Structures are given as C-alpha cells and as structure tokens.
Structure 1
Amino acid sequence: MSMNTGHLIFPQDPVAQHAVTICATLQAKGHRALLAGGCVRDLMLGRTPADYDIATDALPEETMALFPHTRPVGIKFGVVLVIVKGTPYEVACFRKDGPYLDGRRPETVSFSDEKEDARRRDFTINALFYDPARQTVLDYVNGIADLHAGILRAVGDPQKRFQEDRLRMLRALRFSVRFSYAIEDRTWRALCREREAITQVSTERIRDELIRLLTEGKADRALQLLDESGFLKILLPEVAAMKGVEQPPEFHPEGDVFTHTRLALAHLPAQRSEALTLALLLHDTGKVKTQRFDAGRIRFFGHDHESSVIARRICERFLIPVKTTERIVWLVKQHMRIHRFQNMRLSKQKQLLREPGFHELLVLARCDALGSNGDMNAVDYAEKMRNALGDEDLSPTPLLTGNDLIALGYKPDRRFRRMLEAVERGQLDGTLADRAEAIALVERIFGPPGT
C-alpha cells in the first residue's frame, strides 16, 4: 500500500502540545508514536480537535511505565489513558482486528504497525496519522484526497466495515452532515443494504449517535439522509409517517407535514440544545393521527397535545434523561401558544413569558413559522413583549400569602391555592393595585372568612 504525505499547521495550545510531548516521550524510548484519527482530520480541516488520540507500537505496560499518571481502559485492545494536567489522552497500540462477532468489538486483536492500524479504521478521513517529529501527515488509505474532494468513503470493503460495527452506519450519516461531504457510492449502497442490522445496536448507542447526527450539523440534512437511507422508518417511524400528510395550503404552502418539518429544521441556530432540536423534529408528529377534513378544510385539532404524547413515548424508548424529556415534551405541547399569543389574556401571556423554557419555545416557534408561510407577527410580538418586561412585571411580589389568609380568618384548605392564584392573576392582569383590592377580590370570589 502506498503512502501519501501532507502537512498541516499544528496548534500551540497546551492541550495540543501535551499530545506532542507524549509522542516525543515514546519516541525517545525508541517507539513509533503518531497522532491518529479524528484529531488529524480536524487539524487538516482547520478545526480544533475535541481530543487527541495517539497510536504507538509501545505495549500498554511500556506506555504505563513512561508516564506518572495512567489508567488502563482497554488492555485487551492495547488502550491506555495518559493523563496530563487533568486531560486524558488515549494511547493505543497499532493493531489488527480479529473477527467481529457481536457487531461492535473484535473478538481478538494482534498488535501490528501503522499500516495495518489504518486498514482497520472506519473511514478514510479518520485513518490519517500525524508525525509531530517530522511534522508530516501519513496517509495509507487515500484519506487526504477524500478530505480535499469532500467524500466520505469506508476503508476497504464498506460492507465488512459496517458488519464489524453496526453503529458505523449512523456515524457515516453524521460525518456526511457535519462536514457536508458526499457519501461515496459503494459506501452508501452498503449502508442501505445493512440498515436493518442497526437494531442489533444498544438503545443508548443509537440514541447518542442520533442526537449527535441531529445537533452537530444541519438538522434538515440529517433528516433527509435518515429518510433516504431508510433508517428513519426503522428508528423513528413516527416521523417517517408524516410523509404525505397534507396540510391546508393557505397556512402551509410548503407541502406535507414531513416537508414542513424538514424546512423548519433548516432554520435552527448552529448552537442549540438536543431538547430544542428533538422538540422541533417531533412537534407535528401528532398531525398524522389528528388530521380531519371538515367542509373541504384540513384541520388538526389537538395535534399539539397528541404530538407531546408521541414525543414522550419516543424519549422513553430511547432512554433520554428525565430532565431533557420533560423539556422536549413541554416545548412540543406548548408550541402553538406562541402563534395564539396575541389573543391570550395578559396574565396568561406573562405566565408563559416567565417559563424557564420560553427562549427555546420562541426559537421553535420562529423555525416553525419560517418552515411554513413565514408569518412572524406572533413570534415578534411575544419576543418584543418579553424584552420589554422585567422580572417584577412577570413575577410580582405577592399581595397576599397563605399566612395573610389565615390571619384574615380563612381556614387552610384546598381553596388556598385557588385564592392565591386568583390574586396573582389580578396582579399580572394589572387589575389589583394593593393589598386591600386583593382581599376584596378573595372575598368576592370565595366569600368572607368563615363561609
């Protein structure tokens, strides 16, 4: 196998330089030591690597003897963590993998050289090495050419690569989206051919890869690739079911519910939470069940509630943490309230504005509108109102408390909550100015003390 070489500008920050120092320490003892994989790819693309991995011909015990702070995390696979000033660096032996029987890990490995190590990796752009001593990129799989051409290509036989680790199929989609790369034809065909085997992967691994796929790059492109590859029907059938569900053209000139969702996802900001992303993806899933044809008009009564039920079911299926699940479900259930905002009572408006998730709800509503008829009136109105009001406007100091009600002669019971809520509504609506008016309101609605 021929070797191509290339050059890159190596960063001078401490995290990067510590990786170079680890390589130098290994090399000083006569070992081959290279930076490997994604960090080399990112550096060649002018990106800051999330971490730095090192590949070496040193055995784990040799590596551990050279550094004061290490942790064996995969001795069977030749992997040791070297910890420098709190930052872990994965140092792995060059290796050749044996057969994969579980669709995730090789049953055996044999330590080898960098050429064999490159051949076992997933994609050519992830199989590059960098020799910091010679300041040279080493390429045994034509990864440099694919980087420059914007192509994602499996190393060697793509079907074999995907059979070795089933999750690589979703990783292919993720890298394609993240880097805006085209998936090479043989790699794409193998991915589509093997897609049903994705169900052999654990729920947690699929969940994490899906979230990264949807949040690391353009979410609309991610949805498109999931659909075109057939993974959407397998993993998110509720989303796939939105295809072909008609919408009223006067409100949704863009087309069916699936098209609307894809267009809405295109307007997500680059920095976004998984909760916001998943909520926007799922916000109209309930339209499939609630679609009605009424006197020639298409209606979706209660689709926001139905969508929230579906969203919760999906979150539970993918074992999404409770806190994130609750935010997703809340965003989906509330998403129509921004569009109705101008017709809401003032107290209801203020209660919504002070919700912890309001900012994300506003972003969701903006994306929702931009993915349909582009009407921003309600979104802009709500945003302007939120910016104009301070904390005291949204959460005023209570004119009455539970202790005040007791002092007035009311006996504590279930009415207390409704009494205090009525007073707060009056404050938010601007109809109560002082304590006396609050007491009068309580007596008018609930009767005087003792009744």
Structure 2
Amino acid sequence: MVASFRNSGGTTPREIVAPKNSTSHSPMPDFPTEILNSPAAAEAVRIITELKNAGFEAVLAGGCVRDALLGRTPKDFDVATDATPDSVRDVFGKRNTLAFGESFGVIGVLPPRPETTEHPASNAKESAGKLMPTEVATFRADGSYSDGRRPDSVTYGDAEADALRRDFTINGMFYDVFESRIIDHVGGVDDLAKGHLRTIGKAIQRFEEDKLRMLRAVRFATTLGFSIEHKTFAAIQNHASDISVVSGERIGAEMRRVMTAPAVDFGLETLVDTGLSLHIWPQLQTMNWTEFSTAIQAAKRPSFEVAMAIALFHLPGDSMHTLRLIFDDWKLSVAERRAIEAALTHAETITQCDGLAWSKLQPILVDADAPTIVGTARALAPKSRGVARAGRALSGAPNELDPPPLVTGADLISSGMRPGPEFKAILQSIRDDQLDGKLNSREEALKRIPTGDE
C-alpha cells in the first residue's frame, strides 16, 4: 500500500512565530566598504565619480544599501543623483546610455566599451551583448498613482524628497561613497537594527500608490526574517482585496521569491493572516501547516518548483487543478508547470521505490524533471530507502542510469515489422528486460524480435 502525503482536509492549529531564519538584530555596523570591490559596485562607483566630477550629487540608493548593512551581497547597485536624465546622458554620452524609464527619471548607463583594433565591428557587437547597464535615477517626488502602479507624473527634487516617495524605510536609505556616510531621512537604519518592516509615511497611501507593495511587504518579511510593523500589517489586512488588480506576472515574480525563501512556511502563513492569500492562493486557507513546515524545512532551500510541489501535497483537493489555476493566475512558465506536475505525479512513487523493478523506476529518473521529483520526494520522506536509492542512481554514471538500448526501431523495421502498437510494445518489453538485467547483449535482444514467419 502506498502511503499518501496529501492533506486530507482542514487546518491544523498553529501559532504565528518569527521566521525560522530570523537573526538577532542589533545596532547596524558601519557600511562594509569591502562590498564596493565587486565589479558591479566598482561600476556604480565609477558612475558616481563621473557625476560628482561634473558637479552633481550622486549616491548609492535603495536595496543595495539595505543589503550591505545587513551583511548581504547586493545583487545590483543603483545610483541616485540630482542630475536630470538629459544631464546624465550629456555626462556619459547618448551611445553609452539606455532609456530605461526616462519619463520617471531613470537612465541605464553602460560600462565603458573595451578598446580594440582587430575586427572592430564584430568585437563591438560581441562586447555589447555582455554589457550590464547600471540604473541611474534622478531624485524625484511622485505625483498621483491613478493606475495603482506608476505615478502619473514626477517632479525632480532632492534626496529627502526621493526617500519619502519610496515604499519601506529599509529601502529609503542612501550611501555617499566619498564621505562614507549613510543618508537616512526615514529611519531605515533603526528599523534594520530592529528587524522591522515599516512603510515610509502612511501605509494606506503607499499601498494605494502601488498595490503590489502589500505582497512585497510579505516577501521582505519572509526573505529578511523581519516582523511587519502593526500599522503596516493592519493596512494590508484592510486593503488585501486590492491586490486583485495587480497583474499575474508581478504577483508570480514576488511569489517565486517567497517560495524560495528559507522561511517560506512563515511567508505563506503571513499571506493567510494578512488576507492576501484569499486573492492570490485561496487554497492556503486549508493548508496542513505542521506537516508542510516539517517537509519544507527537510527540503533545505528547495527550488521554486520543489517548494510548490511540497505545498500542493499538503493542501486538500485536486492538486493538479490547483496548479492549473496558479499557472494561469501567476503566469508561470510551461517548464515550471511541467516540473511541478512531474513531482506531483511521481514523488510518492520515489518514496516507495526501494523494491520497485528498475525498469519501472528508471524512466522516472531519466525524466528532464527528475531533480524536482526526487527533491520533492526527499522532503516528503527524508529517511525513505526509496529516496536514498533514487539519489544514488541520479548521482551515478550516465551510462548506468540510461544505457543505450540494445535494439531500436530500425532493427524492427529491418526484420520486416511496420510501426504500430505491437512495434512499440516489443521495443518496450526488450528495453524493460535490458534494464532489469534479463538481457545482456545485443545478440540476445535481436532474438526477441519476431520474424516474418511468426
């Protein structure tokens, strides 16, 4: 009898606690200047230097300052300046800039092009494909947000005005690389030290400007291990239904980051407690939280696909139907859906495969989504002998996992057979016996092909 890991229905009592990856928050250290040694940071410093030399103010801005103060390596380094977009283009040259969002004051500045004299046209094309532009944004204040996403108009201003129009205090800080000082007009340093997520200004206004910020609050709390300030939390609860106007692509992008965070169980519970889940993933209301938390922690930093499969295993009802809804709502890729479906279909088989014939197990393990399948199975039953067997097989030599077939369709055609149902059945029978060690040579396999007299 195959054990089932699917939730049979209902919820289990639970208590909201801090994320499991929460750190002990203490006064912020000085900005770790060694982070500025990376190529991306060095490019941002180059841009700041050139803007300063041209007479403008320029600083690092937003998430890179936050991450650096938290001891994390920033993914990218954004620059904010009092130079207008036209001035930025004048400083760096139009051919070295891109109009990322010029109407909102954002210009992309390309790194210097390598100098070469050999085949200049081809080399320029090749190097251009590798260029990673740095976002340079003009300090601004935003007008009204009639579409709940973008400001209808912007006015250029100073650093303080720019900080006050941002979403959360931890994202509203700047760093002056020349004076080695943090510029904080919004209390971001204190909130970082407390592990506290708080909107800049009134939470309702920030969420009215961009409805996605409600989901971003949950994402930041989940990925950083922060608590959400009570007024910010209450505003999300009171306006959770507004998330319905946000595009599926934007919701899906945030949910991928929630699902791959170490504290994904905390994140999903917070979605429920804020009321956002009713409009993003209604089935979470009936999650078996205790068993899901155990499984997701056993997975040890799972991929998005594995995390989704684990979650779906712990929800009642038709998992495939729920996945289809999520696929449409979040605009998942076909590859993501395929991998999750493969895990839902085969993971339980892997947990029980210790005594399964190799010919039945091997096709699962050579599937393109085998890592997702086995990763999900390992989370469901980490001590299973079947999971251990599958893991050993995946880590073995490729020719042992998937040896070349002893006979092919061409051999059957040469014997006079025509492709059809019997044709496929014979090939499969020979392949199964090969995998199970009942046929060890091509000569033995060829004898299994019916002749024209049979």
Q: Distance in 2 between matches of 1:391 and 1:28?
A: 58
Q: Any idea what SS the aligned residue of 2:109 has?
A: strand
Residue 162, structure 1, aligned to residue 162, structure 2: no
Task: Specify the alignment match of 1:342 in structure 2.
Answer: 354
Q: Distance in 2 between matches of 1:412 and 1:76?
A: 62
Task: Specify the alignment match of 2:24 in structure 1.
Answer: none
Residue 431, structure 1, aligned to residue 443, structure 2: no
Q: Distance in 2 between matches of 1:397 and 1:280?
A: 34
Q: Residues 169 and 200 of structure 2 are in contact (CA less than 8 Å); yes or no, is this contact kept in structure 1?
A: yes
User: 1:321 Cα shift?
Assistant: 1.1
Task: Specify the alignment match of 1:295 in structure 2.
Answer: none
1:216/1:84 CA distance change after superposition, 3 Å: farther
User: 1:212 Cα shift?
Assistant: 1.3
Q: Any idea what SS the aligned residue of 2:208 has?
A: helix
User: 1:423 Cα shift?
Assistant: 0.5
Q: Distance in 1 between matches of 2:419 and 2:272?
A: 57
Q: Distance in 2 between matches of 1:284 and 1:145?
A: 38
1:421/1:181 CA distance change after superposition, 3 Å: same
Is the deviation greater in 202-211 or in 6-15?
6-15
Deviation track 1:269-294 (CA, whole Å, cap 9, x = no partner) reads: 23x43222222222343xx23xxxxx
Q: Any idea what SS the aligned residue of 1:55 has?
A: strand
Task: Specify the alignment match of 1:275 in structure 2.
Answer: 305
Q: Distance in 1 between matches of 2:353 and 2:29?
A: 57
Q: Residues 342 and 378 of structure 1 are in contact (CA less than 8 Å); yes or no, is this contact kept in structure 2?
A: yes
Q: Distance in 2 between matches of 1:409 and 1:161?
A: 74
Q: Distance in 1 between matches of 2:234 and 2:328?
A: 32
Residue 391, structure 1, aligned to residue 398, structure 2: yes
Deviating runs (4+, > 3 A) in structure 1? 384-387, 411-414, 439-443
What aligned pairs does 1:156-235 form with structure 2 within 5 A after superposition?
A: 156-235=201-280
Task: Specify the alignment match of 2:6 in structure 1.
Answer: none
Residue 449, structure 1, aligned to residue 452, structure 2: yes
User: 1:386 Cα shift?
Assistant: 4.2
Q: Distance in 1 between matches of 2:267 and 2:391?
A: 29
Q: Distance in 2 between matches of 1:112 and 1:333?
A: 56
Q: Distance in 2 between matches of 1:435 and 1:30?
A: 78
Task: Specify the alignment match of 2:282 in structure 1.
Answer: 237
Residue type of the partner of 2:208? Q
Q: Distance in 2 between matches of 1:18 and 1:369?
A: 47
Deviation track 1:325-382 (CA, whole Å, cap 9, x = no partner) reads: 1111111111211122124222112222322322332221121125xxxx43332233
What aligned pairs does 1:30-429 form with structure 2 within 5 A after superposition?
A: 30-68=55-93, 69-85=96-112, 86-242=131-287, 257-270=288-301, 272-285=302-315, 288-289=316-317, 306-369=318-381, 375-387=383-395, 389-429=396-436
Deviation track 1:112-142 (CA, whole Å, cap 9, x = no partner) reads: 1111111111111100011111111111111
Q: Distance in 2 between matches of 1:220 and 1:87?
A: 35
Instruction: Structure 1 unaligned segments of length 5 or more: list them.
Output: 243-256, 290-305
Structure number with greater CO (CA < 8 Å, separation at least 6) is: 2
Q: Residues 268 and 284 of structure 2 are in contact (CA less than 8 Å); yes or no, is this contact kept in structure 1?
A: no
TM-score (norm 1): 0.85
Instruction: Structure 2 unaligned segments of length 5 or more: list them.
Output: 1-27, 113-130
User: 1:442 Cα shift?
Assistant: 4.1
Q: Residues 227 and 240 of structure 1 are in contact (CA less than 8 Å); yes or no, is this contact kept in structure 2?
A: yes
Q: Distance in 2 between matches of 1:435 and 1:56?
A: 72
Residue type of the partner of 1:54? V
Q: Any idea what SS the aligned residue of 2:298 has?
A: coil
Q: Any idea what SS the aligned residue of 2:299 has?
A: coil
Residue type of the partner of 1:279? A
Residue type of the partner of 1:117? D
Aligned-residue sequence identity (percent) comes to 35
Residue type of the partner of 1:124? T
Q: Any idea what SS the aligned residue of 1:351 has?
A: helix
Residue type of the partner of 2:44? A
Q: Distance in 1 between matches of 2:413 and 2:256?
A: 51
Is the deviation greater in 131-140 or in 400-409?
400-409
Q: Distance in 1 between matches of 2:68 and 2:393?
A: 45
Residue type of the partner of 2:248? T
Q: Any idea what SS the aligned residue of 1:263 has?
A: helix
Q: Distance in 1 between matches of 2:390 and 2:361?
A: 8
Q: Distance in 1 between matches of 2:29 and 2:446?
A: 79
Q: Any idea what SS the aligned residue of 2:218 has?
A: helix
Q: Any idea what SS the aligned residue of 1:137 has?
A: strand
Residue type of the partner of 2:335? K
1:439/1:151 CA distance change after superposition, 3 Å: same
User: 1:73 Cα shift?
Assistant: 2.0
Q: Any idea what SS the aligned residue of 2:380 has?
A: helix
Residue type of the partner of 1:84? P
1:438/1:65 CA distance change after superposition, 3 Å: same
